[in-house]
Structure 1
Amino acid sequence: MIGLKYGIVGFRGKMGREIFEYFSTFGDECVLKKDVDSFEQTDTPQVIIDFSSPSALEETVKLCREHKIALVLGTTALEERHFEMLRELANEVPVVQSYNFSTGINILRKILREYTRYFSDWDAAMVEIHHTQKKDAPSGTAKMLRNDMNRDIPISSLRIGGVFGEHTVIFSNAGEVVEIKHSALSRRAFSIGVRHAALFTLKKQKGFYSYEDVLNENLR
Structure 2
Amino acid sequence: MEIGLIGFGKTGKAVASVLLQNKKITLKWVMKRSSTLENRTTAEYLGIDSNETGKIYSSETTPIAELLDKQPVDVIIDFSSASGIYSYGEEASIRKIKIISAISHYSNKEKEFLKSLSKLTTVFWSPNITLGVNYLLFASKFLKKIAPWVDIEIIEEHFKGKDGVSGTALKIAETLDLEENDINSVRAGGIVGKHEVVFGFPFQTVRLIHESISREAFGSGVVFVAENLKDKEEGLYNFEDILSPYFVA
Q: TM-score, normalised by structure 1?
A: 0.87
Could you report, residue by residue, the CA deviation over 1:151-209 in whole angstroms, capped at 9, with x for unpaired residues?
A: 33611112222211101112336744332211111122221111121223321231110
Partner residue in 2 for 1:148: 175
TM-aligned CA distance change 1:117 to 1:161, over 3 Å:
same
Q: CA deviation at 1:24?
A: 1.0
Query: Does the CA-based 8 Å contact 1:95-1:201 persist in structure 2?
Result: no
For the residues of structure 2 that align with 1:181 and 1:67, how far apart are their CA atoms? 40
Q: How does 1:50-199 map to 2 (within 5 A)?
A: 50-135=78-163, 137-152=164-179, 154-172=182-200, 175-199=203-227
Q: CA deviation at 1:217?
A: 4.8
Q: 2:18 aligns with which of 17, 22, 26?
A: 22
* 1:8 equivalenced with 2:5 (yes/no): yes
Query: Does the CA-based 8 Å contact 1:22-1:188 persist in structure 2?
Result: yes
* 1:36 equivalenced with 2:52 (yes/no): no
Unmatched runs of 5 consecutive residues or more in structure 2: 35-57
For the residues of structure 1 that align with 2:146 and 2:227, how far apart are their CA atoms? 37
Q: CA deviation at 1:146?
A: 1.1
Determine what percentage of the aligned residue pairs are the same residue: 27
Query: Does the CA-based 8 Å contact 1:50-1:60 persist in structure 2?
Result: no
Unmatched runs of 5 consecutive residues or more in structure 1: none
Q: 2:236 aligns with which of 208, 212, 218?
A: 208
Which letter does structure 2 place at the counterpart of 1:203?
Answer: D
Query: Does the CA-based 8 Å contact 1:22-1:191 persist in structure 2?
Result: yes
Could you report, residue by residue, the CA deviation over 1:13-71 in whole angstroms, capped at 9, with x for unpaired residues?
A: 11211121111112433223221221464611111000111121211212313532010
Over aligned residue pairs, what C-alpha RMSD do you find?
2.2
Query: Does the CA-based 8 Å contact 2:144-2:150 persist in structure 1?
Result: no
- Count of residue pairs brought into register by the alignment: 215
Aligned residue for 2:214, secondary structure, equals: coil
Which letter does structure 1 place at the counterpart of 2:22?
Answer: F
For the residues of structure 1 that align with 2:128 and 2:17, how far apart are their CA atoms? 19
